[in-house]
Each structure stands twice: as structure tokens, then as C-alpha cells.
Amino acid sequence: MNKMELIEAIANEVEVTKATAAGCLDAFINTVTKVLKKKGEVRLVGFGTFTTAKRKATTGRNPQTGAPIKIAASTQPKFRPGKSLKDALN
């Protein structure tokens, strides 16, 4: 499912226009992004938790030349599914 299909599904589920559903989805994405940028977490009980994790700098290898390269430290987004979501899939 891509973003447009998700917007259409949301619009049909709650009986609103696609523009309203798109605005709500964009607001959700923007809000989660802002919270994660501030190193916070978004916990949706039953669905899951969005958090961040730091990755240390490492040394990798260029697959074409075999030369070592430095991979910078970074902050990665993480999602941990909630119990209700896990149960719905099993």
C-alpha cells in the first residue's frame, strides 16, 4: 500500500474527503517527525511506539575497491509494535 492508497482507505473508513484524510495523515507524519527530532517518543497504546536510537560511527569497506570508509554516527528512527498489533497479525 502506498501513501495515496492509505489516504483513500482512511477517507473511506471515516467517511471524509481525500483532502481531509491527506491533511490528517500529513499532520500525523509531521508531528511524529518533530517529536523524534527532539529525541522524544510517540506511544500509541495497542499500536506501537516510535523512538530513536543512536548508531555509533563505524568503519566499512567499499565493495568495489575494498578500501576502508568511515560511516558517520547517526540517529535512526525505530518502531516497536504493540501487543494488539502483534496479536492481530498472529
Mean pLDDT per 10-residue section of the chain, whose length is 90 residues: 96 95 96 96 95 95 93 95 94
Task: Please report the pLDDT score of residue 40 as a whole number.
Answer: 94
Task: Please report the pLDDT score of residue 55 as a whole number.
Answer: 94
Task: Please report the pLDDT score of residue 28 as a whole number.
Answer: 96
Q: What pTM did the predictor assign?
A: 0.80
The amino acid at 79: F
Coil/strand/helix, residue 30: helix
Strands 68-71 and 58-61: antiparallel
**Superfamily name with CATH number, domain 41-90:** IHF-like DNA-binding proteins (4.10.520.10)
C-alpha cell at 43: 506511544
